[in-house]
A and B are shown apart, each in its own frame.
Chain A
Amino acid sequence: GAVVSQHPSRVICKSGTSVKIECRSLDFQATTMFWYRQFPKQSLMLMATSNEGSKATYEQGVEKDKFLINHASLTLSTLTVTSAHPEDSSFYICSAREGLAGGPLSEQFFGPGTRLTVL
């Protein structure tokens, strides 16, 4: 099946610094990628949807200047948490959808997640 990787798997940073998380589709071209945030023992909350070559669409309540998303190629999307603070500590998961046709049944393939801890 399709494989999505994330790097790093775990990162610890100081408050006020910026952190970049990479999401790659390894064996397919992902026209659309999604970024989720998951708090301990809670569900995944969609942060934004990014289509290759265009600006990301952010969900209500997500600060686009805080969480910068770049989907520059069909295999790579990055999430940059700018000026990170302890409340940004969370598990960030990306997913990718293959091909041009979306549709409600098109499968999303999920990365293994990145655990961010801000001290």
Chain B
Amino acid sequence: AQSVTQLGSHVSVSEGALVLLRCNYSSSVPPYLFWYVQYPNQGLQLLLKYTSAATLVKGINDFEAEFKKSETSFHLTKPSAHMSDAAEYFCAVTSYSGGSNYKLTFGKGTLLTVNP
């Protein structure tokens, strides 16, 4: 079964600093990977997804992630943190659930705080 592991439940950075949120996957087949962001008391918003078309994926709000098969990783980065980036970030992988359905399996999340 496909799964993802997020390293670090809490990451704190200064405004303007590099953001690095780590995600490793486990999959017996080529994975389809996603990063979502959740602001307090809100649902999830898709940041980006890996489609196997390119290993470096660019998403919204200047976030990007690089798929590294050799390291089974899909880490999320942003060159310069903004206060508005403070949120919970979830890595997820798609797995087949029968019929025509695919489901998302989420990591435990990483809370990003941005200090002024």
Contacts and interface: CB of A to CB of B under 8 A. Distances in A.
Contact of B102 (A95, A102, A110): A102
A110 B45 contact: yes
B43 A111 contact: yes
A44 B44 contact: yes
A108 interface: yes
Max chain A C-beta neighbours (<10 A), residue from B32, B42, B44: B44
Interface residues of A, number: 27
Nearest to A45: B106
A4 B102 CA distance: 19
Nearest to B90: A43
Contacts, number: 62
Contacts of B105: 46
Interface string B43-84: 111100101000000000000000000000000000000000
Max chain A C-beta neighbours (<10 A), residue from B90, B103, B111: B103
Given A34-B103, A102-B100, A104-B94, A93 B108 contact: no
Interface in A4-30: 4, 6
Nearest to B44: A110
A2 to B, nearest CB: 11
A108 B32 CA distance: 13
Contacts of B107: 43
29 contacts: A4-B43, A6-B43, A34-B104, A41-B109, A41-B111, A42-B108, A42-B109, A43-B107, A43-B108, A44-B90, A49-B103, A51-B99, A57-B97, A57-B101, A93-B44, A102-B100, A104-B32, A104-B96, A105-B49, A105-B94, A107-B46, A107-B49, A108-B104, A110-B44, A110-B45, A112-B43, A113-B41, A113-B42, A115-B41
Given A51-B99, A104-B96, A113-B42, 16 more contacts: A4-B43, A34-B104, A43-B90, A43-B106, A43-B109, A49-B101, A49-B103, A57-B97, A93-B43, A95-B43, A103-B102, A105-B51, A106-B102, A107-B46, A108-B104, A113-B43
Interface of A: 4, 6, 32, 34, 41-44, 46, 49, 51, 57, 93, 95, 101-108, 110-113, 115
